[in-house]
């Protein structure tokens, strides 16, 4: 079954405590992206990756890092989380030969 998995699904943390949200896909997709969704703002792209070791900034990259060491994984790293990073985060993947992005189930992050 084609899947995009995110972990954890829910996380409450405190300001400044480094955290990583993992994203994994089993579809051998080249493209992966991270989005954040906030009420009234829709989805905004944080970072995207065209393939292993190839990443680029989206519209709201400040305060985030990513890495793409393996094709299937694209973790999102918050080195020093702040309350304004409280949001719902989605990972998405797309294969080279298709236009369709497949979204994961989301990670709800609260930074106190």
With binding defined as CB under 8 A, does residue 41 bind another protein? yes
The least distance separating another protein from the CB of residue 100, rounded to whole angstroms, comes to 5
Distance CA 73, CA 59 (A): 21
User: If binding is defined by CB under 8 A, does position 61 make contact with another protein?
Assistant: no
* CB contact burial 8-31 (16+ within 10 A = b; e otherwise): eeebebeeeeebebbbbbeeebbb
Which one among 19, 22, 106, 110 touches another protein, defined by CB under 8 A?
106
Residues that bind another protein (CB under 8 A): 4, 31, 33, 35, 40-45, 48-50, 56, 58-59, 90, 92, 94, 99-106
């Amino acid at each position: 079954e084609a899947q995009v998995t995110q972990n954890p699904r829910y996380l409450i943390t405190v300001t400044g405590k480094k955290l990583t949200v993992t994203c994994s896909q089993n579809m051998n997709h080249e493209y992966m992206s991270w989005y954040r969704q906030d009420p009234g703002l829709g989805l905004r792209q944080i970072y995207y990756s065209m393939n292993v070791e190839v990443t680029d900034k989206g519209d709201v990259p400040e305060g985030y890092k990513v890495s793409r060491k393996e094709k299937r994984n694209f973790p999102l790293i918050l080195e020093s989380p702040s309350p304004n990073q409280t949001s719902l985060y989605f990972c998405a993947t797309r294969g080279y030969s298709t236009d369709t992005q497949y979204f994961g189930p989301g990670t709800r992050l609260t930074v106190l």
